[in-house]
Amino acid sequence: MKNYKRADTHIWAGRTSEDQLYLHEKVTFLDLENDELIENQNTAFAILGYACDEGVRRNSGRVGAALAPDAIRKMMASLSNHLDKSVQIVDIGNIICNKNDLEYTQSYTSNKIAQILKYKYFTIVLGGGHDLAYAHYNGIKEYLPNSSIGIINLDAHFDLRKIESNGNSGTPFYQISKENDRFKYLCLGIQEESNNQELFKTAHQLGVKYIKSTDFNIQNRNYIFTVLDNFIDQVDNVYLTIDMDGFSSAFAPGVSAPSPFGFSIDIALAVIEQICKSGKLVSSDIVELNPEYDLDNCTARLAARLAYYIMKFISSE
């Protein structure tokens, strides 16, 4: 079985107009295995799905995140379009995990992300489990082998678990740290209740910067921006990963590990905008949405709007 499935064009549906008033009218499609990528001269976004929750299963989580990429697309489709007409959005389909082979799926994903970035598309990957981060980082690294890459993670969890047998959704940043001399990692929204003492110890040993969820709020905006800007200044490029379980379950109930003590939308959006304005963001992903536990597509709608705002912030630079 193949690890790639081209985009389902029927997902992108909604009201129609004669002037691309809705996002679905702006989206074009590309078969990543058969169509030729052409280097872009203008701002262009590639939407790639990572339909894999094998890492979540290995991490004893609630599976269902493999359904998330298409759930997010459906919620993106009907959004009003305020992007410039020169901006391109291309849906290039889903990567799927066959026979529980997470390692091959991650390798395949890395290669495809590097391929997409090479042709000057800003890539937004829709997960899937957070094991995507290991693949995504390696794809960026393949594209930018001589640059320092700073990871900014909006998340309740460090995901720095040591590997016992195989990697999973809780190990990606530990894996990255062990394979790279330059490990720059900032995690925003960390919850003490969701990370044991060993994980905090590992974070300190690896020099990880973090802000706890109790401090990650709009009232602390100036402090958060100082930490954020100092981190960005230390790296050549930034990879942004957004774990939906970092948000309060009031906003994001449809995740594998919901928490009422998560962060709010206002501070997350402010941070995302600041990262986009830095000019160093090269690729991003949104992970851990679990449609099986969503309520009225609430979490999928939030993920869709985060993806839209990333495109808006990037294209306005």
Buried b or exposed e, range 7-19, using 16+ CB within 10 angstroms: beeebbebeeeee
Q: At CA 259, angle to CA 213 and CA 215, rounded to 5? A: 10
CA atoms within 13 A on the CB side of 62: 14
- Annotated ligand binding at 24? The verdict is no
- Annotated ligand binding at 130? The verdict is yes
Residue 190 forms beta bridges with which residues? 212
E-only strand ranges, the chain:
4-5, 27-29, 44-51, 88-96, 122-127, 149-154, 184-190, 209-212, 237-243, 281-287
* Closest to 168 measured CA to CA, from 38, 252, 256, 75: 256
- Annotated ligand binding at 245? The verdict is yes
- Annotated ligand binding at 159? The verdict is yes
269's tokens: 């959006």
- Binding site for Mn(2+), by residue number, is 130, 155, 157, 159, 243, 245
- Binding site, by residue number, is 130, 155, 157, 159, 243, 245
